[in-house]
Structure 1
Amino acid sequence: MSVYTGSRAVVIGGSIGGLTSALLLRDLGFEVDIYERTPSDLDGRGGGIVLQPDTLRWFRERSSQRPEDVSTTTDWVQYIEAGNRVVDRDARSWSHTSWGTFYRALLADFGRDHYHLGEFACGFDQDVDSVTVRFVSGRVESADLLVIADGVTSANRARIDPDVKLTYSGYIGWRGTVDEALLTSETAELLHNSITYNIVPNSQITMYPIPSERGTAVGDRLMNYVWYRNVAEGPDLDEMLTDKRGFQGKVSVHPHQVQDRYIDEMRDAAARLLAPAAAEVVTSTEAPFIQVVWDSRALKMASGRVALIGDAACGARPHAAAGTAKAAADAWALSDALTSSAGNVTEALEKWEPGQLELSSNLLSRVKAMGERSQFTNTWTPGDKNLRFGLYGPGR
């Protein structure tokens, strides 16, 4: 019997990091409940993610679902330029998935009996024996461990580190997907087995295939992209982030809610600036959406019986494709610390925190430097090994 049998954990935030931590805590013997503030299942707005080893580890080691059931794989990383000319090509395999596919797979493993939608956690207190969480619905829950995994705009982070600020990077990401079967044969052939970059002055686009509802076979997938474009902070950004309903987004503007004039300008710019294959992917997207690129990092991730993980602890630019990997790594490291601490939750969190703070600091420094090279100094060089994906370093 586990030393944590009979103990209770509450996880705030039902995204990938929250689900991964909940699954691992349950394996340790905790009774775990997840509380997600949105009233319906999360959808990720159709975006893709690169699956690094920490992200996939649950499916490789603990799940009856296989990694290949929830992901696609490409064998190359390539750079293209005007005329679709390939200027650099490197044999490197990566796995990819759609955010929604991966979320649904984790949720299927966790189950719905202890996954609570429409519950907004607005505060908590703790003493030496337990932590008590308060919700706007009036619900109050007590636990031996609280994991805060409610994202970059975390409502509960301030009780751990009140000084965390979101700092705008100077650019946004246009994101979207297009059915691979709708692409011209030339574009589909060029892109189907690669992560593909197209670098243009003060901008870049990254593309790779992800699963669709039809499956993971070539021709059934979606081509996913993120195109980074500079937008000045202030009124220009505020106006761009005002959706069709008149609401201003903080971190994103959802599909079908971006003002048409901005989509029209983006498509015109793609046709003028990008390589033909990249331009085709962008201009063929029915409902592109906007993701704001922010930097944030907590200098404290543990307090007593409370742990802060994932984007709530460190919001890192996507250039290293490490956001979901960092959340998963936080969860696995927390599980290891709890295992080695023989039932002492506060001791486990004290052991866990320094390594995760260092990982956050190193990751954020690296992706900020990558972003500067891409968007402002025009020194993102095709084939540069320092620009590879990786949570722990380039290619790692």
Structure 2
Amino acid sequence: MSKARTVLVIGGGAAGNAVTVLLRRAGLDVHLIEAKDDWNATAGSGITLQGNALRVLRELGVWEQVQASGFGFGSVGITAPDGTVLHAARDIRSGGDDLPATVGMQRPQLQRILIDAVRASGATVRLGVTATALDQDADGVTAHFSDGTSDRYDLVVAADGVNSATRAAIGITDKPEPTGMAIWRIATPRPAGVTRTDLAYGGPAYIAGYCPTSETTLYAYVVEANRDRASIPPESYADEMRSLASAYGGFWPEITAHLTDPAQVNYTWFDRMLVEGSWHRGRVVLVGDAAHCCPPTLAQGAALSLEDALVLAELLSGAENWDDTLFQAYYERRIARVRPVVEASVQIGRWQLDGVRDADVPGLMGRTMTMLRELP
């Protein structure tokens, strides 16, 4: 072709950044827009990246930076609320034996690494801009933007998150639904003895856990039944999380001592969503949280989003015709992998909400993570 195909990516999170880098590598002309003026204003204190996420990050060419910035480990501990270790199990290396089972890292640091990769790719980036309308025909999409400009594209990739305005604009009515749980999170200094994720079940919260995110940092979290967010004033966030966390022993007293600044505490509900049937309408295609989301009980949200980007880019770069057949093939390939992860993630939380004491959580986790060792 004499002219490179053009792609508009809406959203500069993990999925949008990844698909941008991969499509640029394939020689496509990619424009990325991000609604935030500050591209790295990323909510959340930390992120757990399983091996299948690391596999995609290696494909993006950023694995070395991730490895240097994060904290790799290969096991998970189950503790009693008082901190007594009841069981420690090796994590499944879902990215293959040549990658760690898990890397914890600060979420803004991952975003910075991906932003640098997008910039280096040569993609056109516009911040503080949204798409106000998408006019489609058989050959492409004319996008109209909030700054009054418009442009023509062969394809639009909607990577604008769980509350995707693009998803709604193209007539897909699915919305995230609460699962009944909520999570408090904070980044703190890492106690020297914390070298893996430990999870305590029971006590005043359903789960109290932490994950090392660098040589000096970790993020800690407690999971409870969701409450009306309007009833919790933000200035009380540190007090609320400290009230729950102070019941736990082991490393928790050292962690809890840093629960003083409410602005550093993040509170979110767990949601579930899985768009069924197809992830496209015409030449607008969904990736990542715009197509699916699940509770972080398996720590697979970012991994699934990165895999979406990898698979979509592979199909687009290898096809002469960008049509319904190709986009449906993308959906079919992804739904078979995403659905069991979403269902397992929700089921683990449901067992806890229902107080099922003999639930086979380790078995369900093991089966799901073993499935994820296969290439996406």
Q: Which band: TM-score by shorter chain?
A: 0.7 to 0.9
AA partner of residue 73 (structure 1): G
1:1-396 to structure 2, matched below 5 A, reads: 6-63=4-61, 66=64, 67-92=66-91, 93-111=101-119, 114-180=124-190, 183=191, 188-189=192-193, 192-201=194-203, 203-211=206-214, 218=215, 221-232=216-227, 236-240=228-232, 258-260=234-236, 262-272=237-247, 274-285=248-259, 286=261, 287-299=264-276, 300-379=278-357, 384-387=362-365, 393=371
What residue number does 2:94 align with?
Answer: none
Amino acid aligned to 1:281: I
Task: Name 1:247's counterpart in structure 2.
Answer: none
Counterpart of 2:10, as a letter, is I
Matched position secondary structure for 2:348: helix
Shift, 1:334, TM fit: 0.6
Instruction: Tell me the equivalent position of 2:95.
Output: none
Q: Any conservation in 1 of the 2:344–2:364 contact (CA below 8 Å)?
A: no
135 and 19 in structure 1: CA distance in 2 versus 1, 3 angstrom threshold: same
Distance 1:99 1:266, change over 3 A: closer
Q: Distance in 2 between matches of 1:330 and 1:64?
A: 17
Q: Distance in 1 between matches of 2:362 and 2:37?
A: 44
Deviates more, 1:60-69 or 1:39-48: 60-69
Letter paired with 2:363: K
Q: Percent identity?
A: 22
Write out per-residue CA displacement over residues 224-281 of structure 1, whole angstroms, 9 at most, x where no aligned residue: 122111134xxx33322xx5xxxxxxxxxxxxxx222x43233123213x23423532
Task: Select between 381-390 and 26-35 the one with higher mean Cα deviation.
Answer: 381-390
- Which aligned segments of 4 or more residues in structure 1 are displaced greater than 4 angstroms? 380-383, 388-396
Secondary structure at the residue paired with 2:317?
A: helix
Residue 10 of structure 1 and its aligned partner are, at CA, apart by 0.4
Consecutive unaligned residues of structure 1, counting only runs of 5 or more, are: 212-217, 244-257
* SS of 1:132 mapped into structure 2: strand
Structure 2 CA distance for partners of 1:160 and 1:353, relative to 1, 3 Å? farther
Mapped contact 1:89–1:383 kept (Cα < 8 A): no
Q: Structure 1's 178 and 120: CA in aligned 2 closer, same or farther, altered over 3 A?
A: same
Structure 1 SS opposite 2:43: helix
Q: 8 Å contact 1:71–1:95 — kept in the other structure?
A: yes
1:10, 1:32 within 8 Å by CA — same for their partners in 2?
yes
Show CA shifts across 1:204-227 (max 9, x none): 02211113xxxxxx3xx2111221
Q: Deviations over 1:268-318 (max 9, x none)?
A: 23213x234235324423421112211122223112211101011112111
Q: Which amino acid aligns with 1:259?
A: E
Verify the 8 A CA contact 1:388 1:395 in the aligned structure 2.
no
Matched to 1:294, the amino acid is D
Q: Contact 1:123–1:134 (CA<8 Å) still a contact in 2?
A: yes
Mark the CA change 1:59 to 1:323 in structure 2 (over 3 Å): closer, same or farther: closer
Note if contact 1:14-1:149 (Cα within 8 Å) is conserved in structure 2. yes
Question: Which 10-residue stretch deviates more, 95-104 or 321-330?
Answer: 95-104
Shift of 1:394: 7.5
Distance 1:64 1:15, change over 3 A: closer
Structure 2 segments unaligned to the other structure (5+ residues): 92-100
Separation (CA, whole Å) in 1 of partners of 2:178 and 2:55: 32
Normalised by the length of structure 2, the TM-score is 0.86
The answer on whether the counterparts of 1:75 and 1:94 sit within 8 Å (CA) in structure 2 is yes
For residues 92-138 of structure 1, the C-alpha deviation after alignment (integer angstroms, 9 at most, x for no partner) is 34222221111111111110762211002233121111111222221
Cα shift at 1:74: 1.4
Partners of 2:226 and 2:279 in 1: how far apart? 31
Q: CA RMSD in A?
A: 2.6
Q: Structure 1: how far apart are the matches of 2:330 and 2:292?
A: 15
Structure 1 residues 340 and 100: alpha-carbon distance in aligned structure 2, compared to 1, 3 A threshold:
same
Count of residues in Structure 1 that have an aligned counterpart in Structure 2: 357
